[in-house]
Amino acid sequence: MIKIDVDPIVLTSLKVAFPKANAAQKALDKYVELFEKMLNQTELNGITPYNPSFGVYSISLFKLNEKSPRIGSEKLRLHKWLESNKLSLHKTVQLGAIGGSNKGPSIIAPSHLITLSTVDDSNNSETAFKELHPNFDKLSAQQLANDYDCCNVDVDSLSNYIKLLSSNATLSRSDKTVITQATRILAAAQHEKNIYYQKKKYSSFGRTYYEGLSVQNIRKDLREAMLGNSFEYDMRSSVIAWKLGYAQTCIDSHKKLKGKTIEYAFPRCHQYWLNKSVLINAIKAHVFSNNYYSDEQQIKLIKEAMTALNFGARKSSHSYINHNGVYCKQAMGTIFKETDECERFLQFAPIVEFIDEQKILNKTIMDLAKVNQPDLLNQSFLLNKQDKLKRQKTLAYLYQNEETRVMNIVRANAKLQGLTVLANIHDAIVLKRELNNKALKKIHADIHNQTGNTFWHLNTKKLKRTT
């Protein structure tokens, strides 16, 4: 946990400008607390593109100003006052923006007026818990039940994981972030008798997320250590599985496809659903010409790119100027940093075929949605300025709602089996005990009968605690 120590000259200057009793001290304390919280959140989420050991962090300066306390009769924002009087607690390395090449939070460094130190979360579990859930003790039992999911943490496994990872001679930026996250989770769980609370955050697209640090946004090896011996069930290539559920309708209504099997009409999509590693390995060999990325990183980039294509990303790496005059990159250009790699990916014959198959499936899905779900036009966030459905957003909305529906069937069956759900991760769940073959067969039957889509299929992975 990052703590900030401020040079006394800041408080002295504030007291001179605002002599009212305790006004300066109270305002500065609140501002420092806010600044600390934002820096800690950056580390916990791992969103900074730079190593904090270099002395730089990524935060929203707009939010830091908007949430900073007011002071004096004119109700000045303390953040602005500090800047105007050359007492700012930070130096701006790069100002963030809504769009363009600097899109995202600002990159800042501590100013000469503050000193940062790191306090081990494990030394104070109560503080670690309150950092995550500041209003927790004010909630009723009913509010807790409605607003939070509880996760049982294998604290011994997580402790062993932290020790093991920390013992590495050279730690990557990712490893350092993961250790920070793991330490916070461990401390917060120990404060609540090995239970980790996660506040629900509902998306208008149908998914349930969690605020802050959760099982959904941590690295897979940390999740495994956190949950211990358990069983993860995730949908095989879930987006493709959802789309292939429309394949037969598409074939029946498409002159050139009539009479063909799904496997013959949509070979690339079917292959990706059946065994994605075959296609991914071919893409890796074609796209990446050097060893800059690890094998794991290459696979991650390809999966991100395939997901973007699933929702209609443009077949281009070129940049453009949006309607506000801001320089922006196409989705593919943000995934592949090297233009040559992006072009090789997009021009690879299997990808060209995959994109063509996607266009046909997307058109069928959108046409059916417009006819069968006219209420979509009541969802303003799905509409453009002409009040027509935005294709990419609508596809994402339809998929995420169906994904939630399918996983609810899985969760209901697990509950009937008396099984404990340790974690919900969108198209996956983690159970404490393994589903037997009979239960798994029933889940698939229920999903296929209720959705009419036989491509939904759960894969099983055994997770092991860290010893």
DSSP 304-350: HHHHHHHTT--S---EEE-TTS-EEE-HHHHH-SSHHHHHHHHHSHH
Distance between CA 403 and CA 400 in Å, rounded? 5
CA distances from 357 to 218, 256, 262, 287, 348 (A): 33, 13, 11, 21, 14
- Nearest Cα neighbor of 239 from 145, 310, 189, 334 is 310
Distance between CA 100 and CA 321 in Å, rounded? 8
Show pLDDT as tens, one digit a residue, over the chain (467 residues): 788 999 999 999 999 999 988 899 999 999 999 998 888 877 666 554 445 455 678 888 999 999 999 999 899 999 999 999 999 999 998 888 766 656 678 888 899 999 887 776 666 788 778 878 888 889 999 999 899 999 999 999 999 999 999 998 888 777 877 888 899 899 999 999 999 999 999 999 989 998 888 999 888 999 999 999 999 999 999 999 999 999 999 999 988 898 899 999 999 999 999 999 999 999 999 999 877 888 888 998 999 899 888 887 776 655 444 444 444 456 777 788 788 888 999 999 999 999 999 999 999 999 999 999 999 999 999 999 999 999 989 999 999 999 999 999 999 999 998 998 999 998 999 999 999 999 999 999 999 999 999 999 999 999 999 99
pTM to 2 decimal places? 0.79
Distance between CA 120 and CA 294 in Å, rounded? 31
Query: What tokens appear for 67 in the block?
Result: 């949430």
Please, what is the Cα angle at 353 between 351 and 354, to 5 degrees? 60
Specify the pairing of strand 114-118 against strand 70-71.
Answer: unpaired
Query: Which residue type, as a one-letter code, is found at position 258?
Result: K
Question: What stretch of H or E contains 363?
Answer: helix 349-372
- Nearest Cα neighbor of 461 from 441, 431, 437 is 431
